[in-house]
Amino acid sequence: MIPRSTSGRAAAADRLARADRSRTFPPLPARSGARGLFAESWWGSAWLDALETTALDSARLARGRTYARDGHVDTINVTPGRIVATVRGSRPRPYSAEIRLRTLTDQEWDGLLDAIAADPDRLAALLAKTLPPALADSEVRLLPGPGDLVPRCSCPDHGRPCKHAAALCFQVARLLDTDPFVLLLMRGRGERELLDALSLRNTALTARETRHPVPAHGRTTVYRRGSGPGTGPGPGHGEEPPAARSAHGSATVTGDAPGEQPAAVEASSRGIPARAALADRPRPPLPPPLPVPPQPGRPPALPDGDGLPFDPATLEFLAADAAARAHACVSAATPGPGAGRTALHSPFPDLPAWEDAIRLTATAHPTAGLTATTRALYRDLAEATGRTPTDVARAVAAWRQGGPEGLALLDTPWNPPAGDFDRARSALLAADLPSLRPRHNHLTDPDRGIQLRFGHDHRWYPYESEPGADDWWPAGPADPDPVAALTTLVAR
């Protein structure tokens, strides 16, 4: 017995179904100078009618319309029964606005799909991205009515709706203008799911017509089998073209119309494998890769929320780091003009947890100044790693000074071999700079509170401390020339 490998196909089908029931739309552009009707289609206007007839404050609606027109609504996500977007208001962080709508029951969906399958014009209209009025006015109500739209928002305004939720509603009307399948998704089914269900219904209808042909004088559907030559209706007069007729399989249909002759259609061939049919098909060349942007993008600000399992600022921070790392990887993998393909190596080696935490902290806020945000970040990191905020701040300064090597030199001295380190003292004396005392890879003048540390990368890392104290902090960028590094340090 051959085991069935249905679990993989079932999982793939489940992923497709879940993806089909969630659509994300980028922010719609601002509508500069638009002062007329916000929706352009009749169904988009009906959506706004459901909002406006139950709004308790027309002033909030007007402000919401202005927010939508000026592009304050960010990415919109539509899932069955729920529309969510962040809306930028007067505060730095946006608010999370939401619109809820009842989904249709399975019985209502069956009735709606039967109504579409029974009239090909309705399906053609949907595929053309229009909503036929006959479908909207059927027994199953698609468009929302008064009170069907339930707005919610994270802002402190308890209006129903507030201006942020109203702005979201206005932008959804623009989405509906271009694609009525968005409305069907709100009611519970995705576009692919609907088209597959309609295809099954059409297949079943065709099979029933094949098993029980209707006499020609009483037919209301198209012909599906051949007629006598020159006597039956030809293509364009109710009969399918020959290519379409041959696809329906073999059957003998006897027509009752005058002049119609019985015609037997040969059984369709078994066909050929798709691989063989497409083997000689010409393939166009792939387009050239897009140019790498000069800078990585910045993620949008997330709204504050109560009871969230994460900190929005931390998520923004991680998203920005992921964008920066992806940009660096793509930049490193992009060959220069005329260069061939090279082996790909990640510019980000694996780091221990402490070093990676310091890297994240140093790159998230690249300025050297301490702010309330950076202090809170240092405090949280110190608590998580069992260190002090001062240790974190010093490590961040070392990372900004020299990356992983700068952080390694902060706490780990080493003994360099004879060569550059020994020659550095003579170069400093020749430049009439202060004499520094060597120890390991350090050159130090404790009375002045200055120090140079020699790295494995043959660069010199300047440090400073209060005179007479042993509290050394990174001071300025590393330099391959000890004279330049010490000159900059002395001039501070």
* Rounded CA separation 228/261 (Å): 5
pLDDT tens-place string over residues 77-111: 999 999 999 998 888 788 999 999 999 999 999 99
Alpha helices in 53-105 (DSSP H): 58-69
**Confidence band of 291 (pLDDT split at 50, 70, 90):** confident
- As a whole-number percent, the residues of the chain with pLDDT over 90 amount to 32
For residue 244, the model assigns a pLDDT of 40
Alpha helices in 147-215 (DSSP H): 163-178, 181-186, 191-211
User: What is the H or E stretch that residue 151 is in?
Assistant: strand 150-153
Which residue type does 397 have? Answer: A
Alpha helices in 70-127 (DSSP H): 106-118, 120-127
Of the listed ranges 189-203, 204-218, 358-372, 449-463, the least confidently predicted one is 204-218
Yes or no: say if 441 and 416 are a contact pair by the CB < 8 Å rule. yes
Which residue is it, tokens 């623009």? 174
Yes or no: say if 52 and 144 are a contact pair by the CB < 8 Å rule. no
pLDDT above 70: residue 33:
no
For residue 457, the model assigns a pLDDT of 93
DSSP label at 284? P
When pLDDT is averaged across residues 293-312 and rounded to a whole number, the result is 77
When pLDDT is averaged across residues 274-291 and rounded to a whole number, the result is 79
For residue 221, the model assigns a pLDDT of 42
Which pair of tokens denotes residue 175?
A: 């989405």
CA 175 from chain centre, in angstroms, equals: 18
Which pair of tokens denotes residue 344?
A: 């790909």
**Better-scored residue on pLDDT, 335 or 74:** 74
Q: What's the whole-number average pLDDT of the chain?
A: 80
**Confidence band of 301 (pLDDT split at 50, 70, 90):** confident
* Rounded CA separation 146/157 (Å): 22
For residue 211, the model assigns a pLDDT of 67
For residue 36, the model assigns a pLDDT of 58
pLDDT tens-place string over residues 155-182: 888 888 899 999 999 999 999 999 999 9
Residue-wise DSSP of 286-329: PPPPPPPPSS---PPPPPP-TT-SS-HHHHHHHHHHHHHHHHHH
Length of the chain as a residue count = 492
pLDDT tens-place string over residues 129-145: 999 888 888 888 889 98
**Confidence band of 232 (pLDDT split at 50, 70, 90):** very low
Which pair of tokens denotes residue 371?
A: 């702010």
For residue 264, the model assigns a pLDDT of 44
Find, among 210, 186, 181, 176, the residue nearest to 198 by Cα.
181
For residue 366, the model assigns a pLDDT of 60
Yes or no: say if 179 and 186 are a contact pair by the CB < 8 Å rule. no
For residue 368, the model assigns a pLDDT of 52
* Rounded CA separation 162/44 (Å): 20
Which residue type does 393 have? Answer: A
For residue 92, the model assigns a pLDDT of 78
When pLDDT is averaged across residues 42-49 and rounded to a whole number, the result is 91
pLDDT tens-place string over residues 324-371: 888 888 888 776 655 555 555 666 777 888 898 898 888 766 655 667
Beta-bridge mates of residue 87:
73, 95
Phi, psi of 470 (to 5 degrees): -105, 60
Find, among 109, 100, 105, 96, the residue nearest to 78 by Cα.
100
Backbone conformation region of residue 408, classed left if phi is above 0, alpha if psi is from -120 to 50, else beta: alpha
For residue 339, the model assigns a pLDDT of 52
When pLDDT is averaged across residues 187-196 and rounded to a whole number, the result is 90
What is the CB-side half-sphere exposure of residue 294 using CA atoms within 13 A? 0
Which residue is it, tokens 């890297």? 359
* Rounded CA separation 465/444 (Å): 10
When pLDDT is averaged across residues 371-386 and rounded to a whole number, the result is 83
